[in-house]
Amino acid sequence: MTWTLLLVTVVVLGVALAVAVQRRRDLAAMARALDVRDRAIRDGSDEAKLQHPIVDLSRCLGCATCVAVCPENGVIEIVHGQAVVVNGARCVGVSACERECPVGAIAVTIANADTRTDVPNITSRFEAVGVSGLFLAGEVTAHALVKTAIEHGTAVAGTVAERTHQLGRAPEGELDLLVVGAGPAGLACSLEAKRHGLTFVTIDQADAPGGTVAKYPRRKLVISEPVDLPLYGRLKRSAYTKEQLIALWQQIAQQHALPFRGGEVLTDVTRDESGRFVVQTNRRRYVARHVCLALGRRGVPNKLGVPGEDLAKVSYSLLDAGSYQGRRILVVGGGDSAVETAVALAQQPGNEVVLSYRKQSFFRIREENERRLAEAVDAGRLEVLYGTRVVEISDELVELEHEQQHGAAHAAGGAATAVAAAPPRIRLPNDEVFVMAGGMPPFELLEASGVSFDPALRDVPEPEGERGTGLTTALSAALGLTLGTLLWALWHSDYYLLPLIERPAHDSHGFLRPGRAFGLAMGIAAVACIVVNLLYLLRRSQKLGLRFGSLRTWMTSHVATGVLAVMCALLHAAMAPRDTVGGHAFEALAVLLLTGAIGRYFYAHVPRAANGRELALDEVKSHLEAVDAEWSTEHREFGERVRSEVGALVDQRQWGGSFVGRVFGLLGLRLDLRRVLARLRAEGRVAGIPDAHIASVTSLATRAHRAALWAAHFEDLRAVVATWRWLHRWVAALMVLLVVIHIVYALSYGASYGEVSR
């Protein structure tokens, strides 16, 4: 007994310690995720430039599938057991999270589509609204992926082919389709047009197909997922560098003799009196029934607007980093192109590379680029100057100033005291300057062609709101299966209501008994349902790499087969489970169904409440910042001090404190907060801060503290409820074990038992 007690104590304490350590790790990870989200909100990177994920917390189960399948780490993280967008700027629009979410809790949409004036108005067939026959495809539509651009171009050519089939071929001297742009969208459109036998021409300002991709730095990874091209099929690789993809495109264009004309710059798109499009380039004039504009969004590179920018050493793209060696180089910009350029140049022998970015941190770059940048900086190959801007470029030097200095001078009306307080200007010896500050999209040309950017004319989809947990649908399906079982039992009630000892004499015994006919079939069906139910776990696991069927369909089958397995097992037991291995397996199966239902529906409510409190906390923080912005500098310092000290209390309570400490805090024992606020009020009065200002900021700080305590309370409650999932899993393991034993027993002794029962 003493040995048993000792061993049990060791096991219990060991498990408790492991749970406590894991719990602290989870809290630390959530704290980091929320800190990243706060910084993203402050930097304006909480939403992507183009496509942005939206999470429906009323549906999210916290399975973390979206985090696992996202190609860019840091876009979505699990907070309080649910998926939360922490850095939307990193989203590249792959939409893997939307496709793989088993409960449809994520939608990837264009951010702020109802107010944006940089998104063209197009129909579902990519046709410009109000301009029949004028199509847009690829990045110009606000969709950035190469795969998406190929799909757009293919769809446009398919639509043109349908209309051409109805109208007949264009007369001589007139094209069925003119494709402007030979990037992924334009190339796919051309190949599909070739497949349909259309008369078409593809033009591009570059001398060879490739589009914007051709301007990427060397060895840049362009495609990282399967892609299908018309007349070619599925690309043989899942990943292509820029050089590999361009070579392949040019090979395909030559192989299929695409009518490509390079070096032509689009200048005008109009319509004649007969409704045909008249397209003018710098070289010739085209007449076409349909036009596909696959121009991209980069357009003309953005200039810095500083003296010396027109010098020959200033470039706006990098095609071959190997051409620059032993040079003193400045790269300007904060996006992926700037980072990739700087890292590539830093890898060349003898280069001294400096990257200048006007903000204090990078927030729109991909994780892989962030990692490569950090490695280059740590290795001493690259220096990053944050918060700086170029003010002048000369033959031998580049002069920069700190962004705070620039802002302070403007804020103070150029006062000498403001400038003197800022760091001095930086003078860098320099041979080359690369400006990677984006480009001016060809919106003016598009508008002149008839394309509208007016949000009022746009068919904006309904806002992505909460759609509920799907409880009604699931309950309806479960009720239907249960009613079916009940009707069957009532139909054969004359047998099922008999005592077990009297059943062998009934006429239906041979048909309904567990080991024969219908009863045996129900047992086999129950086992089949259990197997299918467990296959969902294999499909959901990202480590195994299984991709058969959509995860959403598997989730639906997981719920349906769970209910159906219990009903089949009940009929297999002839409505009378006994005190046997099979009977205990049925009991475990019933408990599994119950715990699964609780885990599926009730577990989602607590994380949602916790994240709701986090949103409330964010709202209070934004109010505090808004109040600070309206005050003078001295008053803002007081507000910042209040926010800082109360924020430290929030972190201590929410993430660093114990469960008991948070419970007492929630019950109103906020002595630490009262003490801090009393001291800050006294300091504010001494500093001459008006009582109204002190009252407003301390009131908001109190609300923030209360919201943080509630969020922590719900998080602790979620941790307790999460043990239900462990119970569900262990019951599942027990049930599988009992079912296996039951099957082995039935196969071993079923035949002899059947002979005896006769």
Q: What are 300's strand-pairing partners?
A: 440
Per-residue model confidence (pLDDT) at position 414: 38
> Which has more pLDDT, 626 or 690?
690
Q: Which structure tokens are listed for 662?
A: 């948070």
> Which has more pLDDT, 163 or 678?
163
* Average pLDDT across the chain, whole number: 80
Q: Which residues of 146-169 are buried (b: 16+ CB within 10 A; e: fewer)?
A: bbbbbbbbbbbbbbbbeebeeeee
Instruction: Give the architecture (CATH level 2) of 305-440.
Output: 3-Layer(bba) Sandwich (3.50)
Per-residue model confidence (pLDDT) at position 708: 74
Domain over 2-110 is classified CATH 3.30.70.20: yes
CA gap 567, 482 in Å, rounded: 7
Q: How confident is the model at residue 216 (pLDDT cuts 50, 70, 90)?
A: low
Q: Are the C-beta atoms of residues 292 and 177 closer than 8 Å to each other? A: yes
**752-758 long-range contacts, CB within 8 A, separation 24+:** 753/515, 754/515, 754/516, 757/504
Residues 220-232: tens digit of each pLDDT: 666 556 788 898 8
Q: Which residue from 700, 586, 578 is spatially nearest to 639, judged by alpha carbons?
A: 700
Percentage of the residues of the chain whose pLDDT score is greater than 70: 81
CA dist 451 → 278, 296, 446, 682 (Å): 15, 14, 5, 61
Per-residue model confidence (pLDDT) at position 416: 34
Per-residue model confidence (pLDDT) at position 474: 66
CA gap 195, 271 in Å, rounded: 27
Q: Which residue from 246, 243, 250 is spatially nearest to 190, judged by alpha carbons?
A: 250
Residue 739 burial by Cβ neighbours in a 10 Å radius (0-12, 13-18, 19+): buried
Residues 387-432: tens digit of each pLDDT: 899 999 999 999 999 876 544 433 333 333 333 444 678 999 999 9
Q: Which structure tokens are listed for 680?
A: 């800050």
Is the dihedral angle over the CA atoms 723, 726, 728, 730 positive or is it negative?
Answer: negative
Is the dihedral angle over the CA atoms 571, 575, 581, 584 positive or is it negative?
Answer: positive
Strands (E), 47-105: 51-55, 76-79, 82-85
Q: Which residue from 424, 435, 385 is spatially nearest to 401, judged by alpha carbons?
A: 424
Write phi, then psi, for 456 (nearest 5 degrees).
-65, -25
Per-residue model confidence (pLDDT) at position 175: 93
Per-residue model confidence (pLDDT) at position 755: 42
Model confidence at 9: pLDDT above 50: yes
Residues 230-268: tens digit of each pLDDT: 988 887 776 777 778 888 888 888 899 999 998 888 999
Residues 551-569: tens digit of each pLDDT: 777 777 777 888 889 999 9
Q: Name the amino acid, one letter, at 410.
A: H
One fold for 2-110 and 305-440 = no
Write down the pTM of the prediction.
Answer: 0.65
Residue with tokens 């599942």, as numbered in its chain: 732
Per-residue model confidence (pLDDT) at position 661: 56
Per-residue model confidence (pLDDT) at position 223: 58
Per-residue model confidence (pLDDT) at position 393: 93
Could you give the angle at the alpha carbon of 301 between the alpha carbons of 188 and 299, nearest 5°? Answer: 35
CA gap 426, 404 in Å, rounded: 14
Residue 562 CB neighbours (<10 A): 21
Q: How confident is the model at residue 632 (pLDDT cuts 50, 70, 90)?
A: low
Residues 316-344: tens digit of each pLDDT: 888 778 888 999 999 998 888 889 889 98
Question: What letter does residue 602 receive in the DSSP assignment?
Answer: I
Per-residue model confidence (pLDDT) at position 176: 94
Per-residue model confidence (pLDDT) at position 415: 35
Q: Where are the domains of the chain?
A: 2-110, 134-297, 305-440, 471-603+733-757, 605-722
Q: How confident is the model at residue 100 (pLDDT cuts 50, 70, 90)?
A: confident
Per-residue model confidence (pLDDT) at position 758: 40
Per-residue model confidence (pLDDT) at position 487: 93
Q: Which residue from 31, 51, 269, 260 is spatially nearest to 145, judged by alpha carbons?
A: 51
Residues 510-521: tens digit of each pLDDT: 898 888 889 889
Is the dihedral angle over the CA atoms 105, 106, 110, 116 positive or is it negative?
Answer: positive
- Identify the three-state secondary structure at position 408: helix
Percentage of the residues of the chain whose pLDDT score is greater than 90: 21
Q: Specify the range with the lowest mean pLDDT, choosing from 267-281, 337-351, 352-366.
A: 352-366
CA dist 645 → 622, 652, 672 (Å): 17, 11, 11
Domain over 134-297 is classified CATH 3.40.1160.10: no
CA gap 136, 156 in Å, rounded: 8
Residues 431-471: tens digit of each pLDDT: 999 998 877 778 888 888 889 888 877 765 555 555 555 55
CA gap 692, 464 in Å, rounded: 39
State the alpha helices, DSSP H only, in 298-359: 336-346
For 346-377, give the DSSP string.
HTSTT-EEEEEESSSS--SS-HHHHHHHHHHH
- Identify the three-state secondary structure at position 530: helix
Q: What is the mean pLDDT of residues 690-698?
A: 77
Pairing assessment for the beta strands 382-386 and 388-393 based on DSSP bridges: unpaired
